[in-house]
Structure 1
Amino acid sequence: MRIFENLESEVRGYIRSFPTIFETSKGAILTDEQGNEYIDFFAGAGTLNYGHNNEHIQDALIEYLKKDGIVHGLDMATTAKKEFIQSFNETILKPRNLEYKLQFTGPTGTNAVETALKLARLVKGRSNIVAFTNGYHGLSQGSLAVTGNNEYRDESYISRANATFMPFDGYFDDINTLKYFRKFLNDGSSGVDLPAAVILETIQGEGGINIASKEWLQELESICREYDILLIVDDIQVGNGRSGDFFSFEFAGINPDMVTLSKSIGGGLPMALLLLKPDLDQWKPGEHTGTFRGNNLAFVASKVCLDNYWQNDDLSNAVFYKEKILKDKLQQIANKHKDDYTIDIRGRGLVYGFEVKNDKAIASQISEYSFNENLICETCGSDGQVVKFLPPLTISEEDLKEGLNRFEKAVDKLFEDKKNKLTKEF
């Protein structure tokens, strides 16, 4: 690891949590240079919903490159882009009665968020954006302004202008936080300017696996319509099937004005896009641009995923089936240790959190012990207090169960070590 310590910037993060050099990967398995195999419950922070080196993607990319398909084309028309747009429209949008235009932004999620915020302000002629507590939307300056996590915010570079935070669903336990939001909108002296848009994740991933209810989302949409506010859903991490449905907001029956997508939409390759209602497409040609806003390899990868996984409900049904396995096992582990620890299990689809309520520091230790059991899982939350589960959606039942057994072993070992240490101290 010395070459990374000597030559790579100190900003590197995940390499510190998982200190080994990975060489190959397949499905839900990562293999390091020593031949050690790890079950991946992180999946590139939700980028690898279809697993590592998915065979459908591999074959399509190899075939495309061998026939000299366009790799880079700015925003020019290419066969790969045409086929992706057609497939996305026919497979995803039309069956859900959604009418959106597609704007291809720079290749990462924060590019899509920046585009959405800029367009909302352009269309409404207002600059304020409302975001929510514990929300995460990216680390470029505009996205960072609507990101709540204090770990990423610093007075030396953050722009606090034109962003207002409101409490997310459940932030005040049983209090309906949208009554609070509505009060600010109704009071002309609240200091909250009428926003151009509201941006939110329906399931806050980095924020700690906080889940907005169906009723809360429906009421938020109603408020946005009443006050002429655009509704932006950030579906970068929990979209693309992570919740079980393709879009995480489908279960609530809402129709956002804009949706940001990235991570797994590119089949593991860099791609981000903004879905926008046609009447919002008020850009002048070239008004928002970028060199890498049309990754043709990602178009190829994404199309083959749409064609192989979203022509029917098989993948969604598999996600819901595996969710029960995941949830039940985590709850079983929590129940085993309930005399010593208060553990909260929450999630939807294949995004789940495991939070030890009476010890915020323990999540990072659980992640470390899990790594020692050859399991990759990360933490999230305002204090890194939640262990996050993001396995590939295509993970086999066998690998899912084995990974959960390894997690249980790690938790048991850690709790036993803590108990032994406490006994020695007394």
Structure 2
Amino acid sequence: MSDLTTTTTFDDSIFADRESEVRSYSRGWPTVFTTAKGSWLTDINGRRYLDFFGGAGALNYGHNNPAFKRALIDYLENDGITHGLDMNTVAKGEFLQSFTDRILLPRDLDYKVQFPGPTGTNAVESALKLARKVTGRTSIINFTNAFHGMTLGSLSVTGNSMKRAGAGIPLVHATPMPFDNYFDGVVEDFSWFERVLDDSGSGLNRPAAVIVETVQGEGGVNVARPEWLRALADLCTSRDILLIVDDVQMGCGRTGPFFSFEVAGIQPDIITLSKSIGGYGLPMALTLFKRELDVWEPGEHNGTFRGNNPAFVTAKAAVDTYWSDDTLEKETVAKGELIHQAFAGLCDQYPGISTRGRGMAQGLVFEDADKAGKVCSQAFDNGLLAETAGPSDEVVKLLPPLTTTTEELEQGLEILATATRDAVGR
């Protein structure tokens, strides 16, 4: 605990008085943060908080990673281009070369790279538009409990009813299918999907694409089995349907490998990346697609801030620093197992909770949804940031930076264990 405090030039009431009611995280974590380093944030009173939220997956490499910060400062001090649209710049070229050499080629992936705009929903929108343009079809298949973004196209393939209602208009041209284990193994995987695809009387238009998360983060840390993903990929190939993997939150090493689908041995037609691809928490997004799908006309999909050059600089630093070998991947898997074992111990100790996850995306699931919120609230009081997820906010979801040390993980897990004990009343 630090005794340092920060003098501010605003009244704390400015947030409630002036900022929109749409704000959310600030309600659950009612303090004013001022600095951050590694896996820690500090508020204006000098109190430190261990961060198991990780910018909702945008800070896989921690806050103010020194390797990225030095590269960014050097770039800015040398008057590097900040805003570049899709002009050719040194920063973009160096990122593309590093991404090609360290990410794509070692995985035998030959994807074209599109910079669609700096957020995950921009990447999803461009993926949906491209799939429709390539196939000439309009319908998209999505999955129960999916989350793909907050703009209209992304919302149309999102499952959460509250978020969908915010659109204010009907969300069309998307059909939900059950995600892996949605029926607890009672219904055979894809049996209904295959039947309606092949039945001329089903009324289902042949879709342009299927969009899927390999691990549904916002949906409650629902994990798709590798065999389920392979079966989905095979089904898409056999029916001439494009497969889109949304790796916005689970990519960039969150589950261990750089891409979350690598465990299944598949090669999606289209991939969306954002959040941690910028390395430093700077806005950046990529839409990757197989070379033969690049049918865009110049300027057909664009965005004013698609060329965020400072993000290219920190993205290259992230790729060069952490993806020249498999060290981070192995460490992430080991740390994920540490979290899983701690959660499994809580499940053995207390009734009404279970756990699921992959890598360093882990969830503690409460039958009584209110208890998940109580755990997160008490964890905050004890110096830890964690959020809830799932259709009823019944899951305590952990997305700590991948660079979090084992000692920090153990410290945070102890806070969560205490909060869980108090929440379940034992």
TM-score, with structure 2 as normaliser? 0.95
Spell out, residue by residue over 1:58-115, the C-alpha distance to the aligned partner (whole angstroms, 9 max, x if none): 1000000111111111100000000000000000000000010000011110000000
- Partner SS for 1:269: coil
Shift of 1:370: 0.8
In structure 1, the residue matched to 2:112 is 101
Indicate whether 1:330 and 2:343 are aligned. yes
Does the Cα contact within 8 Å between 1:142 and 1:159 map onto a contact in 2? no
- Partner SS for 2:260: coil
Q: Write out aligned runs for 1:146-225 (5 A).
A: 146-154=157-165, 157-174=168-185, 175-225=187-237
In structure 2, the residue matched to 1:4 is 15
Distance 2:190 2:408 in 1: 41
Distance 1:254 1:157 in 2: 37
The amino acid that maps onto 1:66 is E
Identify which of 242, 254, 267 aligns with 1:242: 254
- Partner SS for 1:233: strand
Distance 2:323 2:167 in 1: 45
Distance 1:50 1:281 in 2: 31
Distance 1:158 1:15 in 2: 28
In structure 2, the residue matched to 1:361 is 370
TM-score, with structure 1 as normaliser? 0.95
Does the Cα contact within 8 Å between 1:130 and 1:198 map onto a contact in 2? yes
Spell out, residue by residue over 1:319-338, the C-alpha distance to the aligned partner (whole angstroms, 9 max, x if none): 0111121111111122221x
Does the Cα contact within 8 Å between 2:117 and 2:305 map onto a contact in 1? yes
Does the Cα contact within 8 Å between 2:152 and 2:171 map onto a contact in 1? no
In structure 2, the residue matched to 1:264 is 276
In structure 2, the residue matched to 1:24 is 35
Does the Cα contact within 8 Å between 1:319 and 1:350 map onto a contact in 2? yes
* Regions of 4+ moved over 2 Å: 413-416
Please give the root-mean-square deviation of Cα atoms over the aligned residues, in Å: 1.0
Shift of 1:410: 1.3
Does the Cα contact within 8 Å between 1:373 and 1:406 map onto a contact in 2? yes
In structure 2, the residue matched to 1:294 is 307
Spell out, residue by residue over 1:5-59, the C-alpha distance to the aligned partner (whole angstroms, 9 max, x if none): 0000000011011110001100000110001111000000000000000001110
Identify which of 365, 374, 386 aligns with 1:377: 386
Distance 1:19 1:39 in 2: 15
- Partner SS for 1:101: strand
The amino acid that maps onto 1:344 is S
Gaps of 5+ in 1: 420-426
Indicate whether 1:130 and 2:141 are aligned. yes
Does the Cα contact within 8 Å between 1:105 and 1:290 map onto a contact in 2? yes
Distance 2:298 2:137 in 1: 22
Shift of 1:160: 2.2
Distance 1:334 1:257 in 2: 39
Distance 1:233 1:413 in 2: 39
Identify which of 289, 294, 297 aligns with 1:276: 289
Shift of 1:155: 7.5
In structure 2, the residue matched to 1:351 is 361
The share of aligned pairs that are identical, in percent, is 53
Shift of 1:151: 1.7
Does the Cα contact within 8 Å between 1:57 and 1:305 map onto a contact in 2? yes
Shift of 1:177: 2.8
Distance 2:345 2:50 in 1: 20
Distance 1:380 1:34 in 2: 29
In structure 1, the residue matched to 2:9 is none
- Partner SS for 1:177: coil
Distance 1:176 1:58 in 2: 50
Indicate whether 1:396 and 2:405 are aligned. yes
Distance 1:156 1:303 in 2: 36
Distance 2:377 2:203 in 1: 45
Q: Which moved more, 1:402-411 or 1:151-160?
A: 151-160
Distance 2:411 2:359 in 1: 19
In structure 2, the residue matched to 1:51 is 62
